[in-house]
Amino acid sequence: MRILFTLLICLFASNVTAAPVKYTVDTQNTDVNFTYTFGGKDIIGAFNDYDINVAVDFQALQNSTVSVTLKTKTATGGFVFGTQAMRSKKILSAKAFPEITFQSKSVTGAGDTATINGDITVRGITKPLTLTAQLFRPRGSDVNERDNLFIKIIGTLDRFDFGADGYPKEVAPDLRINILAAIQKQ
């Protein structure tokens, strides 16, 4: 009986003191991409300088957080003219607005997918954005592996909502976000 009582106290204490696990991003194995439609064709662009912070509470997902900062001067549009247009005043206005930021406000989960609700700021305009995320272990890793993971984050935003309304006849308004980040426990 004393052993059972001690075990229950230890389990209760570990659940009470459990905290989100903070992760750093391995930039060598991370892709921060987006897809947009230009002239009826999907084009993949990317951000090459970014900061992603992830904290996951495996016991209480609602305590998890995600923040992303993208450096607009490193945005590439999939081809030279696309890149120039992307950074111009008509789209990102990279000189005036050097960063795009996202900060989660809530994280909820169902099955193997999490919903991340937060605020995104583009061109100085902040709007709510809902993203979907999944965590993956590296192939062949132990089923309990949590030190080295991958997080996939996807979502869609309408660039017109942020005043990035240049070239409306050539470029569709939706940008499909696709981040695949290798993350390591701090």
Q: For residue 148, give Cα distances in angstroms to 2, 61, 154.
A: 38, 18, 20
- Confidence (pTM): 0.88
Compute the average pLDDT of residues 36-51: 97
Report the CATH fold assignment for 19-185. Answer: Lipocalin (2.40.128)
CB atoms within 10 A of CB 174: 14
Per-residue b/e over 114-140, b at no fewer than 16 CB within 10 Å? bebebebbbbeeeeebebebebeeeee
- pLDDT of 122: 98
Chain segment 101-138, per-residue pLDDT in tens: 999 999 999 778 999 999 999 999 999 999 999 999 99
**Is residue 4 scored above 90 in pLDDT?**
no
User: Residues of the chain with pLDDT > 90: what percent?
Assistant: 88
- pLDDT of 111: 77
What proportions of the chain, in percent to the nearest 5, are helix, strand and coil?
20, 55, 30
Per-residue confidence band for 10, with pLDDT thresholds at 50, 70 and 90: very low
Chain segment 128-152, per-residue pLDDT in tens: 999 999 999 999 999 999 999 999 9
Chain segment 12-33, per-residue pLDDT in tens: 444 455 789 999 999 999 999 9
For residues 106 and 117, the answer to whether their CB atoms sit within 8 Å is yes
Per-residue confidence band for 11, with pLDDT thresholds at 50, 70 and 90: very low
Provide the residue ranges of all domains of the chain, joining segments of one domain with +.
19-185
